[in-house]
Amino acid sequence: MTDTAPAFTADSTRAVLDTACRDAGLDPKGATLMRLGENALYKLASAPIVVRIARTMDYWPNVEKEVAVARWLADQGFASGRLSRPADQPRAAGGHPVTFWEFIPGEVAMPDDVALLGRELRELHRLPSPTTFTLPRTDILARIRPRVASSPVSDDDKQLLLERCEELENEVARLNFPLDECAIHGDAHIKNLMITDSGPLLIDFENFSWGQPEWDLSMTATEYVTAGWWTDKQYNDFARSYGYDIRNWEGFPTLRATHEIKMTTWIMQNVDHSPEIKAEFETRMRTIRTGEATAHWRPF
């Protein structure tokens, strides 16, 4: 992606939704936009289906992986989101990869459910490696540079983020991880856990990879230490549920700094969407500049 990448907005993705649904024999009328970020998520009114639209065709290989992961998790009997019709996925519409998912009749997990996230991650990390496809190696910083290049922020901010990204890549390469490699989620925050009548379900497979489980665990730890999103009890319940507290490992500060830059560049893509997002981006940039969380981060 480049600085001239097309805008990824509610209006532009609505047009893609209409095309994708017509091609798949679905009715897009009355669909509601659930989220606009790395992807656009729409809930259809005509069927219990959620349509997921990726930003550009550059993401096609990753979306193919997402579909493969969903099928693998279903075969393993793991509690997770399921693909919907049509059978041939992913599909292309208007220059975007599109997938269709079963709507989950439940609620996004709440802060007091974070122990369930720890339990789901523990079970995920115990699964055998897939045999019908190969997960890519974990590259936790892979999307940082494309995000920086296409985001409407100052050149000074972009330069700082790219320099810090390079520093962190070097630091990560020198780490000696204590846990065994496995399939990891790669974006293991509480909003990717749904609570249903039949139990919790893990969703959002675009960052799945084969690598160190420490990356999944340090996500929640960073939200606790840097962002201030968890109480002491909630975080301790998470760590106890998984059976390991990543904060006790000497490499955690590097993983924490990596998650900070990842979380900052995620909202950076939408800084011109609202004053609140712009202000939050500036708060997070202060943390990256100083190395200290001078104020709690706001979730978006």
For 105-124, what is each residue's pLDDT tens digit?
999 999 999 999 999 999 99
In order of 15, 117, 270, the CA distances from 142 in angstroms are 29, 24, 19
pLDDT tops 50 at residue 7:
yes
Hey, which residues does 42 pair with through a beta bridge?
A: 33, 51
- Using one digit for the tens of pLDDT, what is the confidence trace for 21-30? 999 999 999 9
Torsion of CA 232, 213, 53, 162, to 10 degrees: 90
- Where does the chain hold its CATH 3.90.1200.10 domain(s)? 111-290
Secondary structure class of 38 (helix, strand, coil): coil
Confidence (pLDDT) at 37: 82
pLDDT tops 60 at residue 293:
yes
pLDDT tops 90 at residue 82:
yes
Within 13 A of 221's CA, how many CA atoms are on the CB side? 23
**Average pLDDT in the 139-166 region?**
92
Helix (H), strand (E) counts: the chain: 9, 10
Q: What CATH architecture does domain 10-103 belong to? A: 2-Layer Sandwich (3.30)
- Any idea which fold 111-290 has? Aminoglycoside 3'-phosphotransferase; Chain: A, domain 2 (3.90.1200)
Mean pLDDT estimate for the chain: 94
Residue with tokens 């630091």: 171
- Using one digit for the tens of pLDDT, what is the confidence trace for 227-245? 999 999 999 999 999 999 9
With a CB cutoff of 8 Å and minimum separation 6, the contacts of 11 are none
Confidence (pLDDT) at 32: 98
Q: Which of 185, 222, 183 is nearest to 203 (CA)?
A: 185
Confidence (pLDDT) at 84: 97
Range name among 64-73, 136-145, 248-257 with the lowest pLDDT average: 136-145
Confidence (pLDDT) at 1: 38
**Measured distance CA(169)–CA(166) in Å, rounded:** 5
Confidence (pLDDT) at 5: 56
Q: DSSP characters for 131-183?
A: SSS-PPBP-TTTTHHHHHHHS-S-HHHHHHHHHHHHHHHHHHHT----SPPEE
The angle that helices 214-222 and 232-242 make with each other, rounded to 10 degrees, is: 170
Hey, which residues does 83 pair with through a beta bridge?
A: 101
**Average pLDDT in the 157-165 region?**
95
More confident residue, 269 or 79: 79
**Average pLDDT in the 59-66 region?**
95
Confidence (pLDDT) at 3: 42
**Average pLDDT in the 93-113 region?**
96
Task: List the Cα angle 13/19/21 in 5-degree steps.
Answer: 100
**Measured distance CA(183)–CA(20) in Å, rounded:** 31
Query: Residue 95's Cα: distance from chain center in Å?
Result: 22
**Average pLDDT in the 79-106 region?**
96
Query: Residue 145's Cα: distance from chain center in Å?
Result: 16
- Where does the chain hold its CATH 3.30.200.20 domain(s)? 10-103
For 259, the token pair is 């998650």
**Average pLDDT in the 51-67 region?**
95
- Give backbone dihedrals phi and psi of 86, rounded to 5 degrees, phi first: -75, 165
